[in-house]
């Protein structure tokens, strides 16, 4: 059917991607290489090996990418304080460029002609995977089965399994969640089911990582985070790797009812989508990072970062992590973090992240200038009169020319 001899598939080991393995073999007559990424989804990934072997796959990649994910993708994004549409912490979006990168690396290692993924034609992930792949290997072929086949329901996928002797005990005998879920070290997302009605509230038993704020402890948890160049390097004085930092914050935050979000967002493909997200560690990180920046960043740098942030977040959400514009913005953001060092103390209580203190050897907070007490001449209040008059000059001129506002 085509000139595709070998294809690398992003393989979860679930129903959809197991069908895709056989469908690629049958439809394209090609060899399939499977790639399963451990990015902290909380499920055992090694069983994917046996499932791939049962489907006749000879080259199987199962990679632990947790440290790379947090170090090279999550942490750089949080240096920007990125929020899409003011709320979404981009948990799914930031994982896709890493998966795309590894797909291309494996394609190069194995001499594959194409890559493939299980993203549907309605979602953002197809865009994110493919934009990344094309940026890293312009001539790569991409096979997106959901845009080609007519297997558009779980029932049709199961029927395909029966017809083609695909073992499905791992997908059919387990109780299936009513939600479409995606998890990694940064978050877990929920879509579909009752959530397709924006008026319907999320069911309490849906949430996996966090207790409800009402059920959280009545005594707050206090933690201290150490920052170096904008990244958390220690919790309560214990130095930790990036992935371990996020794992620890997820547990602490989830136990205190932190990180639940219920959003309606605008997908890049054009539709609105309602989803719920649990991002306990990320919620803590965002609050703490802004706290340490409030001490250490110059005012205009901080304000410029805030102006750039929505654009940076949109770039990631839409799948342009590997674009020159993201790289340009990242360079500026990373440069701004040179003096973002110090410590933040937080109180976590029933869904709230409360900043209790911040300190830094690089602090720009000058108590002798800011004090309401005697400042020994550190600040001459009389200087403010000329400052105000100069800033008012253009408005005074306009008013004198008859441009009245009232």
265 labelled ligand-binding:
yes
Beta-bridged to residue 84, according to DSSP, are 88
236 labelled ligand-binding:
no
128 labelled ligand-binding:
yes
Q: Could you say which of 22, 79, 96, 274 is catalytic?
A: 96
Quickly tell me which residue has 């796959």 as its tokens: 57
12 labelled ligand-binding:
yes
379 labelled ligand-binding:
no
254 labelled ligand-binding:
no
What are 79's two structure tokens?
A: 């240096």
156 labelled ligand-binding:
no
11 labelled ligand-binding:
yes
134 labelled ligand-binding:
no
22 labelled ligand-binding:
no
360 labelled ligand-binding:
no
CB within 8 Å of 344: residues ≥ 6 apart: 224, 225, 227, 288, 291, 292, 355, 357, 358
281 labelled ligand-binding:
no
Give the 3-state DSSP-derived string for 313-339, with helices as H, strands as E and coil as C: HHHHHCCCCCCHHHHHHHHHHHHHCCC
Is 177 annotated in the active site?
no
Q: Could you say which of 113, 125, 182, 231 is catalytic?
A: 125
Q: Which of 259, 287, 318 is nearest to 97 (CA)?
A: 318
18 labelled ligand-binding:
yes
180 labelled ligand-binding:
yes
368 labelled ligand-binding:
no
Is 180 annotated in the active site?
yes
Q: Could you say which of 63, 71, 72, 180 is catalytic?
A: 180
165 labelled ligand-binding:
no
What are 117's two structure tokens?
A: 């993924």
CA-CA distances (angstroms) from residue 108 to 10, 56, 112, 322? 15, 21, 7, 18
88 labelled ligand-binding:
yes
| Binding site feature residues | 10-18, 37, 88, 93, 118, 120, 124-125, 128, 180, 189, 265, 277
Residues making up the annotated binding site for L-citrulline are 88, 93, 124, 128, 180, 189, 265, 277
**Which residues does the annotation place in the binding site for ATP?**
10-18, 37, 118
Query: Binding site for L-aspartate: what residues are annotated?
Result: 120, 124-125
Active-site annotation, residues: 16, 96, 125, 180
């Amino acid at each position: 059917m085509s000139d595709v001899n070998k294809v690398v598939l992003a393989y979860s080991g679930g129903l959809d991607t197991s069908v895709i393995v056989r469908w690629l073999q049958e439809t394209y007559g090609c060899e399939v290489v499977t790639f399963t990424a451990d990015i902290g989804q909380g499920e055992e990934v090694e069983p994917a090996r046996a499932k791939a072997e049962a489907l006749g796959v000879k080259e199987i990649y199962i990679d632990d990418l947790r440290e790379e994910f947090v170090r090279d993708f999550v942490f750089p994004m949080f240096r920007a304080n990125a929020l899409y549409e003011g709320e979404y912490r981009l948990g799914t979006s930031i994982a896709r460029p890493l998966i795309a990168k590894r797909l291309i690396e494996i394609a190069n290692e194995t001499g594959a002609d194409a890559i493939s993924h299980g993203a549907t034609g309605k979602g953002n992930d197809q865009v994110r995977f493919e934009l990344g792949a094309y940026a890293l290997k312009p001539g790569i072929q991409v096979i997106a089965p959901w845009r080609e086949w007519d297997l558009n329901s779980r029932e049709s996928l199961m029927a395909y399994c029966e017809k083609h002797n695909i073992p499905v005990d791992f997908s059919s005998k387990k109780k299936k969640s009513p939600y479409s879920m995606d998890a990694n070290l940064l978050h877990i997302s929920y879509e579909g089911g009752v959530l397709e009605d924006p008026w319907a509230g999320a069911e309490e038993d849906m949430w996996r990582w966090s207790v409800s704020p009402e059920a959280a402890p009545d005594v707050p948890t206090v933690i201290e985070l150490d920052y170096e160049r904008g990244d958390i390097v220690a919790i309560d004085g214990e130095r930790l790797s990036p992935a371990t930092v996020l794992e620890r914050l997820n547990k602490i935050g989830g136990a205190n009812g932190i990180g639940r979000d219920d959003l309606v967002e605008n997908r890049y493909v054009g539709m609105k989508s309602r989803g719920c997200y649990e991002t306990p560690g990320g919620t803590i990180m965002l609050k703490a990072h802004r706290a340490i920046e409030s001490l250490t960043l110059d005012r205009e740098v901080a304000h410029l970062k805030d102006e750039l942030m929505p654009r940076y977040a949109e770039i990631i959400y839409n799948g342009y992590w590997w674009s020159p514009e993201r790289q340009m913005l990242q360079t500026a953001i990373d440069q701004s973090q040179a003096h973002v060092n110090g410590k933040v103390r937080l109180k976590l209580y029933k869904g709230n992240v409360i900043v209790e203190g911040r300190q830094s050897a690089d602090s720009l907070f000058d108590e002798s200038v800011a004090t309401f007490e005697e400042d020994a001449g550190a600040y001459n209040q009389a200087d403010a009169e000329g400052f105000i008059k100069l800033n008012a000059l253009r408005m005074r001129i306009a008013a004198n020319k008859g441009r009245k506002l009232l």
